[in-house]
């Protein structure tokens, strides 16, 4: 057991949140804003890239891919224009951090964009924002306009002969458009259907040109690296993951919210620390925790002494993912919860690949049957069989579909059943939900 107090950490992403006018350029400049860009512009682009590599920054969008390495895949000698596409789609259930960056401190991300553009020789950047984020869109557009007026974007960058144009594009409400290649299709004005990889976007991306796709928080993490140095940034984190990260804590805890933590913080500390989750509601006990957005395999109550860091969670056959931690207490019916998660992925499957298009509604129908007390003993094996056809588990990453939405839909099924099998069996044997009936409402025939 670890102590309930999480390791102390200096806030680098959220430090201005909640302070008056934190979203404006004037306030951003008062806290040293765009000084990091000045430093980066004095360095050669390759040296900027090396600094990002040294910082151990890893992508905060889901896969945790090393950012510097991703940038280094962009071919330097390509005659084609290069693009930066910022992923602000933020639709993974349990994830709600990027919107706060954009609402509270949009210039932090814009400065990250400018630094990345200099390092990568990018002159056009698109920020793809989840359509529902109206307020974030207003704040971001206002910040982009300020950056143009102040000579940060446009023909010159802080007086240097380097042109960067930044466009805000709002999505139309499809989860799949957060997948990087679907995002590129959507930016091109097409239906958001993922592309086969390879080729990877860094080589063949937007309009067939080299493109880096990075998450909002990833880019917001770039200016601190240049303000205080890559070594300092790397030391904020763990051996393989530099910096701090934002965690979205929801479910059965006293203080749900977005917290910036050290990646050495364990799940137990996140839940129990009085300054973070503040413990469970009176009389409740942890039953299960989803550590990285609803697609991350669930952990049971005896698995909470694990750091919220990419490698540590991988050892447990789960993922740090998008930083969405969902806490479930002892009142939770695991069949009902899994059914809810499964409905989301069935609804959001784009339909391109057969295992995902056919398998996700099939999972949903089987789970509904079990939850409603109509399950047969063979339904549980059938459920696992369908999930395995979409993506076997463990290990993570063996999905049979073009994109990882299939994995996202199958991994919860595998992990819920593996850890809470007795509960699924009880539903089948008792022919009812042991947690009682609920007025369900109507989810449509397939649900």
Name the site residues for ligand FMN (rule: CB under 6 A).
59-63, 65, 70, 87, 89-92, 176, 178-180, 213-215, 218, 403-405, 408
First CA to last CA across the chain, in angstroms?
A: 41
Residue 33 or 178: which CB sits closer to ligand FMN? Answer: 178
For residue 136 the two structure tokens come to 């974030």
**The token pair that represents 444 in the structure block:** 């449509």
Shortest Cβ 215–ligand FMN spacing (Å): 3
Of 107 and 245, the one with the shorter C-beta distance to ligand FMN is 245
The H or E element spanning position 125 is strand 124-129
Kindly list the distances between the CA atom of residue 288 and the CA atoms of 145, 172, 271, 370, 420, in Å, as whole numbers in the listed order.
45, 33, 12, 20, 9
| Nearest in space to 28 (alpha carbons), one of 117, 109, 141, 124 | 109
- Of 307 and 404, the one with the shorter C-beta distance to ligand FMN is 404
Provide the minimum distance between the beta carbon of 408 and ligand FMN in the complex, in angstroms, as a whole number. Answer: 6
Q: Which is nearer to ligand FMN, 63 or 447 (CB)?
A: 63
Q: Which helix (H) or strand (E) holds 347?
A: helix 334-348
Q: How far is the CB of 287 from ligand FMN (least distance, A)?
A: 27
Q: In whole angstroms, what is the distance from residue 264 CA to residue 7 CA?
A: 7
What pairs with residue 257 in β-bridges?
249
Nearest CB to ligand FMN, comparing residues 380 and 387: 387
The minimum distance between CB 244 and ligand FMN, in angstroms, equals 15
Residues in Cβ contact with 290 at an 8 Å cutoff, skipping those fewer than 6 apart: 94, 296, 298, 299, 324, 325, 326, 328, 412
Distance CA 259, CA 249 (A): 8
CB of 395 to ligand FMN, least distance (A): 17
The 83-88 sheet, strands edge to edge: 165-170, 124-129, 83-88, 211-215
CB of 407 to ligand FMN, least distance (A): 8
Nearest approach in angstroms of CB 184 to ligand FMN is: 10
Question: Which helix (DSSP H) or strand (DSSP E) does residue 287 occupy?
Answer: strand 286-290
Identify which of residues 179 and 309 has a Cβ nearer to ligand FMN in the complex: 179
Shortest reach from residue 294's CB to ligand FMN, in Å = 11
Distances (CA, A) of 344 to 54, 281, 337, 357: 38, 27, 11, 13
CA distance 321 to 323: 6
Nearer to ligand FMN, 45 or 59 (CB): 59
- CA dihedral sign of residues 32, 152, 59, 321: positive
Toward ligand FMN, which CB reaches closer, 380 or 403? 403
209 backbone φψ class: left, alpha, beta (φ>0; ψ -120 to 50): beta
Q: Which is nearer to ligand FMN, 60 or 414 (CB)?
A: 60
Tokens of 299: 């952990």
Q: Whose Cβ is closer to ligand FMN: residue 209's or residue 382's?
A: 209
**From start to end of 377-444, where are the E strands?**
none
**Least separation in angstroms between CB 52 and ligand FMN:** 11
CB of 404 to ligand FMN, least distance (A): 4
> CA 28 → CA 21, 83, 163, 288, distances in Å?
9, 26, 22, 40
Give kind and range of the element (H or E) at residue 306: none
- Least Å distance, CB 109 to ligand FMN, is 11
**Smaller CB distance to ligand FMN: residue 182 or 334?**
182
């Amino acid at each position: 057991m670890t102590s309930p107090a999480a390791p102390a950490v200096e806030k680098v992403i959220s430090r201005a949140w909640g302070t008056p006018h934190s979203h404006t350029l004037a306030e951003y400049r008062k806290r040293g804003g765009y000084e990091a860009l000045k430093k980066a512009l004095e360095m050669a682009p390759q040296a900027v890239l090396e600094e990002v590599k040294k910082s151990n920054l890893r992508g905060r969008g889901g896969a945790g891919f090393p950012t510097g390495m991703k940038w280094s895949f962009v071919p330097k000698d390509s005659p084609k224009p290069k693009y930066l596409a910022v992923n602000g789609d933020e639709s993974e259930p349990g994830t709600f951090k990027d919107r706060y960056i954009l609402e509270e401190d949009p210039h932090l991300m814009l400065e990250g964009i400018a630094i990345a553009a200099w390092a990568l020789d990018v002159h056009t950047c698109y920020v793809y924002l989840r359509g529902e984020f109206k307020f974030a869109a207003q704040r971001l557009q206002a910040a982009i306009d300020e950056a143009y007026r102040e000579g940060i974007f446009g023909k010159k960058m802080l007086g240097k002969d380097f042109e960067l144009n930044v466009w805000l594009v709002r999505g139309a409400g499809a989860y799949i458009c957060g997948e990087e290649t679907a995002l590129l299709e959507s930016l091109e004005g097409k239906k958001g259907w993922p592309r086969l990889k390879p080729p990877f976007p860094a080589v063949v991306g937007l309009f067939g040109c080299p493109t880096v796709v990075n998450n909002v928080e990833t880019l917001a993490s770039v200016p601190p690296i240049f303000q205080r140095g890559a070594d300092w940034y790397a030391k904020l984190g763990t051996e393989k993951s530099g910096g701090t990260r934002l965690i979205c804590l929801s479910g059965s805890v006293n203080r749900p919210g977005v917290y910036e933590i050290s990646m050495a913080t364990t799940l137990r500390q996140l839940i129990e620390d009085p300054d973070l989750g503040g413990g469970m509601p009176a009389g409740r006990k942890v039953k299960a925790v989803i550590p990285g957005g609803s697609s991350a395999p669930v952990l049971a109550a005896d698995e909470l002494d694990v750091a919220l860091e990419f490698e540590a969670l991988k050892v447990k056959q789960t993922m740090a993912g998008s930083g969405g931690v969902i806490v479930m207490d002892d009142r939770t019916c695991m069949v009902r919860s899994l059914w809810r998660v499964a409905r989301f992925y069935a609804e959001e499957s784009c339909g391109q690949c057969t295992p995902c298009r056919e398998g996700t509604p099939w999972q949903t129908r089987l789970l509904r049957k079990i939850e409603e007390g109509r399950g047969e003993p063979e339904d549980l094996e059938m459920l696992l069989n369908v999930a395995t056809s979409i993506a076997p588990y463990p290990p993570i990453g063996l999905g049979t579909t073009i994109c990882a939405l299939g994995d996202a839909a199958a991994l919860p099924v595998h992990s819920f059943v593996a850890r809470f099998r007795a509960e699924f069996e009880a539903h089948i044997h008792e022919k009812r939900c042991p947690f009682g009936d609920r007025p369900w409402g109507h989810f449509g025939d397939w649900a």
